[in-house]
Amino acid sequence: MKRALIVGAGIAGLATALRLTRDGWHATVLERAPALRTGGYVVNLIGLGCDAADRLGLLPALRRHDLGLITTVLVRADGRPKFTVPSAVAEATVGPRALTVFRGDLETVLHEAVREVADVRFGVTTTAVDQDPSRVRAQLSDGTTEEVDLLVGADGLHSATRAALFGDGHRVDLPYAVGAFPLTPPVIGVPERSSVTFIGAGRTAGVMNFGPHRTSAFFAYRTGDPSAELARGPLPALRAAFGDLGGGPAGALSTEPEDVYFDAVSQVVMPRWSDGRVVLIGDAAWCVTLFAGHGAGLAMTGADRLGAALKDHSTVPEALAAWEAGLRPETVKRQAMARRGMRQFAPPSEFHVRLGDLALRAMTLPGIRTLVRRGVERANR
């Protein structure tokens, strides 16, 4: 039985473990954190991502967590409504093959499937890795050693595996910061099955209420010094950037959430994703940023295709080369879309805000909405 060691129990790592074990591999998943993450932001599985979830056998469980579509109300800085964007517009922008779930729910569904077939070890990571043409040897932080046929670095944007084995300099930092956290109870003034969103020059704030215990806040803003923002801490930085707002965003920032995602916005650009029997996957290899909207889907697609490549090729290096050649064009496209999409989350000026408002108003027209849906379907093929 071939053995794989997977570093990182996020979406990419767990999906890889699930696919490999179904192909007869023995998989061990290491996670530095002491437990599985349960919070996080809302993610969409669109097109290829939804197809990958189906092939991995996850759709029935994920459908139980599907948040569905909601009505979005665009508001002014003081919280007063501008106009309402119907859920039909959201449906046009994601296409017919889509699931919307909280990241924590997606990882929980993956973990429940993986723990039945693989060894998942929390509070453990690698401390040293070396390889020869026939195997990879990894020293672990608990003092044990693993010898495997394949090592998969799925430890995210700040991947220690990438830094140790491929060096620094692959992360491209962008002048933005993002924050997201769940809310319990919901914010007053944000009705169930609706989202209240403010879009201003250089920043966006939104509160999404999908129902009981299903409310989440999201913030993105432009900053000349993301590192300084991170040093301030999540809530102080977010309150400084959005403290002048009223309505739903103000209500969200008045809470004291325990599980806050807060980070600079970066992409990972690498000339290659593998070296011998070591491969990176997900954000560790190609982070497209939250602005792309396809990070979770690409992670699952990458895992599914990696399993297929390893099954179809006689050697690990050949499989990794073929896998990368097939997947790289999609990741490059999504990274480019994310760089263009930054204007939607942090418009350069009030003029661009008004242009965005006009575009959203136009999408409420059935004819324009149909054109948008067709364009999305082509992009997600």
**pLDDT band at 343, cuts 50/70/90?**
confident
The arrangement of strands across the sheet holding 278-280 comes to 119-122, 26-31, 3-7, 150-153, 278-280, 274-275
Distances (CA, A) of 266 to 20, 178, 185, 227, 289: 29, 10, 31, 12, 6
Phi, psi of 135, deg, nearest 5: -165, 170
d(CA 125, CA 346) in angstroms, rounded, equals 36
Min mean pLDDT across 23-32, 51-60, 83-92, 257-266 is at 83-92
Q: Judging by DSSP bridges, how do beta strands 150-153 and 3-7 pair with one another?
A: parallel
pLDDT per position as a tens digit, 118-127: 999 999 999 9
CB 31, CB 316: distance < 8 Å: no
Percent of the chain with pLDDT over 70: 93
Q: Is the predicted pLDDT of residue 368 greater than 90, yes or no?
A: no
Instruction: State the average pLDDT over residues 251-271.
Output: 93
**pLDDT band at 251, cuts 50/70/90?**
very high
Instruction: State the average pLDDT over residues 100-109.
Output: 93
What's the mean pLDDT when you consider all of the chain?
Answer: 91
pLDDT per position as a tens digit, 205-234: 999 999 888 899 999 999 999 999 999 999
Q: Is the predicted pLDDT of residue 377 greater than 70, yes or no?
A: no
d(CA 207, CA 40) in angstroms, rounded, equals 14
- Both structure tokens of 49: 């991502």
**pLDDT band at 264, cuts 50/70/90?**
very high
pLDDT at site 110: 97
pLDDT at site 290: 82
> What are the E-state strand segments in the chain?
3-7, 26-31, 42-46, 71-75, 81-85, 98-102, 119-122, 126-132, 135-140, 145-148, 150-153, 171-183, 194-200, 203-209, 215-222, 261-268, 274-275, 278-280
> Which amino acid appears at position 299 of this protein?
A
Domains (range + CATH), the chain: 3-39+103-171+268-342 (3.50.50.60), 71-99+174-266+343-379 (3.30.9.30)
- Both structure tokens of 357: 């408002």
Min mean pLDDT across 63-77, 160-174, 282-296, 353-367 is at 353-367
Between residues 364 and 270, which one has the greater pLDDT?
270
Instruction: State the average pLDDT over residues 23-50.
Output: 90
For 91, half-sphere exposure in the C-beta direction (CA atoms, 13 angstrom radius) is 12
> Which amino acid appears at position 281 of this protein?
I
Written as one string, the DSSP assignment of 1-18 is --EEEEE--SHHHHHHHH
